[in-house]
Amino acid sequence: MSPAWLADAVIYQIYPQSFQDSNGDGIGDLQGIIQRLDYLQSLGVTTLWLNPCFDSPFGDAGYDVRDFFQIAPRYGSNADMDALCAAARARDMHVVLDLVAGHTSMDNPWFVAAAADPTGPAGQRYIWPKPDFDRARGPQQGDFISNFFWYQPALNFGYVEPTEAWQDPIDAPGPQANRQALRDIIAYWMDRGVAGFRVDMAASLVKEDPGKCETIRLWQDLRAWFEAAYPEGILVAEWSDPADSVPAGFHLDFMMHFHAPGYPSLFFNGTGTLPAKEGPCYFADDGAGDPALFLGEYHKQLTAIAGRGFVSLPSANHDFQRLRCGPRGWAGLRPAWVFLATQAGPPTVYYGDEIGMRFVTGTPAKEGSTLMGVVAPNAGAPDGERAGTRTPMQWDASGNAGFSTAPAEQCYLPLDDDPERPTVAAAEADPDSLLHFIRGLLRLRREHPALGSEGSFEPLMDGMPAYPLVYRRALADAAYLVAINPSAQAVTRDLPVALGDALLVAGASGVDGALQLEPYGYGIWQIA
């Protein structure tokens, strides 16, 4: 069972080094997040997900962990994390940390000890195809198995059927020690007040694992322990296949750009970090897309996990482009947010998307932000560069947009230099801003549970054109019709049900048996 609070959650992803700097060193920190909690609460956020905050050499922006039990000094201290958790709890909010379960930094003491004796007990924590490497030179690429960048040595969770002398079975001492380490890390931070973990690359643990069967068993074992020890805690997967990850023991997973298809067909328009790999983009001006791929996969995922967990469709994240990217301008954002706020799972807002921050092309690479050489070349996208979606939060019109008092050149990444860049302060002052619009959408979701995580989701697209997107949300005796036209062309289709009162309408009408939507129009109606 999932904790009751998760069904009503609104998740807000914070890239901590880019959110708010409290001490003027140019890098965001935990005290900065504390300063902004009232703003996040006013938006409707209930759950903060922080990208890795643990001690790290930051070769991969913190996803190369040196010490799982210590907050990185750039962000503050363990006491600052305690303070953040307490401040969040005082506002009925939850803090979820990022857990890198499958690998570490080469600076991690576990790896340092393993490299000193790769065939001994310490060495068994990692995987060494070349245990006879030159000790004077130190371990190099190829001497050990990596999990992402070459300098991120994979923790050894074993092989299902070892075929080489250096491959351990899953019940060997090294893999068992690493399983215990996961519990130790989780318990340490849960006992300090965090509400759970989002697990990076959660499907990557056991090697040569057809169907991920042993990795799934690993997480099922951990979930049984976790649920008994921390019944109000949550485990969130980066698996992008809820049909696998939720039965494996996770409370929530995302549909994104890998494994479960469909998300790129909605939002990836050939610009930014990752390509439009699933055909024409649906949320695009040209109206050339088709929601069928997404709707089919979404139905499969929701059916597979019904009553067991949740699917979340994020507005963006640190690995791929924001909604406001390339040809998608301001007009296209509102229909996209109507869609995201009326899905059958907790919404996930990537920091700054609520004010329309854009993907900033040309942002210089920083701390492993470039994907080229790790993933396949991105035809149609610039170069696999993620920095453009990690630029500092834009708070106001002061220096560095209120992110930091440091000289501009010391900021973690350059600010968006667009003179018309949006800010929280300007959005708060404008009653017609995207910020107020999203705040209102999240309020509608709270006030009408059928639009929330536990309502059913039924596409009403059979025999109809691809535009507009129309679906029914229902729970108990309440039902609503949602219609969205993300294109720049007016569209008309047969009205599938009789409409009652409107909750939210812009450029849409349903009269005389016809549903008509102007460019970028949308509507949410009660079903009569």
Are 284 and 326 in contact by the 8 Å Cβ rule? The answer is no
Helix, strand, coil percentages (3-state) for the chain, rounded to 5, are: 30, 20, 50
Are 367 and 59 in contact by the 8 Å Cβ rule? The answer is yes
Q: Which tokens hold the place of 12?
A: 């807000």
Domains and CATH numbers, the chain: 4-101+172-445 (3.20.20.80), 454-527 (2.60.40.1180)
Kindly report the CA angle at 282 between 311 and 46, in degrees rounded to 5? 35
Distance CA 434, CA 418 (A): 18
3-state secondary structure of 152: coil
Indicate the residue type of 293.
Answer: L
- Give the bridge partners for 257, in sequence order: none
pTM: 0.97
Q: Which tokens hold the place of 280?
A: 């024409």
- Give the bridge partners for 54, in sequence order: 71
Q: Which tokens hold the place of 424?
A: 């929280």
Per-position pLDDT tens, the chain of length 528:
899 999 999 999 999 999 999 999 999 999 999 999 999 999 999 999 999 999 999 999 999 999 999 999 999 999 999 999 999 999 999 999 999 999 999 999 999 999 999 999 999 999 999 999 999 999 999 999 999 999 999 999 999 999 999 999 999 999 999 999 999 999 999 999 999 999 999 999 999 999 999 999 999 999 999 999 999 999 999 999 999 999 999 999 999 999 999 999 999 999 999 988 899 999 999 999 999 999 999 999 999 999 999 999 999 999 999 999 999 999 999 999 999 999 999 999 999 999 999 999 999 999 999 987 665 444 444 568 999 999 999 999 999 999 999 999 999 999 999 999 999 999 999 999 999 999 999 999 999 999 999 999 999 999 999 999 999 999 999 999 999 999 999 999 999 999 999 999 999 999 999 999 999 999 999 999
Distance CA 156, CA 180 (A): 12
pLDDT for 383 equals 64
Kindly report the CA angle at 63 between 365 and 355, in degrees rounded to 5? 60
Select from 481, 352, 347, 369 the least CA-distant residue to 415: 352
pLDDT for 1 equals 80
Q: Which tokens hold the place of 500?
A: 């009652």
Are 315 and 322 in contact by the 8 Å Cβ rule? The answer is yes
Query: Alpha helices, DSSP H only, in 283-409?
Result: 292-305, 333-341
Kindly report the CA angle at 363 between 334 and 279, in degrees rounded to 5? 50
